[in-house]
Amino acid sequence: MKPALLLILLLISAAVAPTPAYTQEPDLRTQAVLLLEKANSVSMAPDLPNLERTDTFHVSNPDSRARDGSFSRVVIQGVGRREETTFGDYHLVSVWQGNTLKTTRSTEIAPAEVVTVMRLTPIYLVRLDQADVVKAILDKQIDDLPAHCIEFETIVGQSHQQNEICVDASNGTIVMEKLGNRVIENRGFFSFAGALVPSSITLSSLDGGPQLEISQTMAVLDNTSANVLAAPPDATTLRRCTTYRRAIGQSMPQPLRGNGETEVDIVVRGVIGTDGKVHDALVQSSERTDLNPEALSVVSQWVFSPPMCDGKPNSAEASFVLHFYGR
């Protein structure tokens, strides 16, 4: 299953065994693909105006270091955009104009909750890929409204994940996504620039209740004066690379294998520095929190040839997947 939105993070993972083929009804898969393609189409604006978007979010996870946050984006088409994120003691302001980026941030790495908000907004869209096997398409009621629900299994190596995506039977929008243990619910759709966008997004786990609640608004920007894109006076100015080479792994050991039959993946984020080492690492998502310290320890041993910007070593944020076999 592939997200339909673009991510700026570099994803680094050890190679996995090819996925075996599983049979499915061709007509059923075709119908599922068409439902998701329509869902993507109705929630993607063909031509965006100057806009102002505001998201506020509340975190219910008791382990979170903060509870409430906000994200705003102002875009002047053809000129630039300004984004500001606040969550607890984390504060980031970024202003893009031409080939320059002016930015100031309280810490180098964004909290996991902020990254999740960025992934879910304005809406989390997906497409089926070769690892997904469609099992059924059922008619159900979601929030008392008729919906077509695609039940499918994602098979990667020995891992089998049961999933379900439901689209509104009348307008085609994605109203519910059950991806493994996580459930995303989209409600209160409004029209903006020819696209249908949810005003409310909730992320829950099947065994733990709501984890994240997001409220979202979008409006056409009337005021396009220069101060709309103003950057803080202490912002650092960066320039777009003319030539860029991504980081190249030199040594990326994986955790030691266990004697069991289970497979566990943990995603860690950090910064690959100019020295080729991983700095400021934190766990983004984990299927086994007891393995988190080991995952961070293993990533701290990874070594890269650093990213290169115009021939000079550069730093870059990245995501790393740790595979725990038999643990």
Does 20 score more than 80 pLDDT? Answer: no
Predicted confidence at residue 15, as pLDDT, reads 38
Per-residue 3-state assignment (H helix, E strand, C coil) for 306-323: CCEECCEECCEEEEEEEE
Query: Per-residue pLDDT tens for 162-199?
Result: 999 999 999 999 999 999 999 999 999 999 999 999 99
Res. 16 pLDDT band, cuts 50 70 90 = very low
What is the DSSP secondary structure assignment for residue 32, as one 8-state letter? H
Predicted TM-score of the model (pTM): 0.83
Nearest CA to 186 among 194, 72, 178? 178
Please give the angle made by the CA atoms of 206, 40 and 75, to the nearest 5 degrees.
100
Per-residue 3-state assignment (H helix, E strand, C coil) for 192-229: ECCEEEEEEEEEEECCCEEEEEEEEEEEECCCCCHHHH
In the chain, alpha helices (H): 26-42, 112-120, 292-299
Query: Per-residue pLDDT tens for 237-278?
Result: 998 899 999 999 999 999 999 988 888 899 999 999 999 999
Predicted confidence at residue 107, as pLDDT, reads 87
Nearest CA to 226 among 128, 87, 95? 95
Question: Going by C-beta distance under 8 Å and a sequence separation of 6 or more, which residues neighbour residue 271?
Answer: 108, 109, 278, 279, 280, 315, 316, 317, 318
Q: What would the two tokens of residue 236 be?
A: 């650092």
Does 223 score more than 60 pLDDT? Answer: yes
Q: What percent of the chain has pLDDT over 90?
A: 75
Q: Measure the CA–CA gap between 49 and 53, rounded to whole angstroms.
A: 12
Query: Per-residue pLDDT tens for 276-292?
Result: 999 999 999 898 999 99
Q: What would the two tokens of residue 271 be?
A: 């910064």
Q: Measure the CA–CA gap between 1 and 9, rounded to whole angstroms.
A: 18
The residues that bridge with 325 in the sheet, in sequence order, are 263
Res. 3 pLDDT band, cuts 50 70 90 = low
Does 217 score more than 50 pLDDT? Answer: yes
Predicted confidence at residue 172, as pLDDT, reads 97
Q: Give me the domains of the chain, ranges plus CATH numbers.
A: 18-237 (2.50.20), 241-325 (3.30.2420.10)
Q: Is 114 helix (H, G, I), strand (E, B) or coil?
A: helix
Res. 121 pLDDT band, cuts 50 70 90 = very high
Predicted confidence at residue 23, as pLDDT, reads 61
b/e for 282-307, b at 16 or more Cβ within 10 A? bbbebeeeebeebbbebbeebebebb
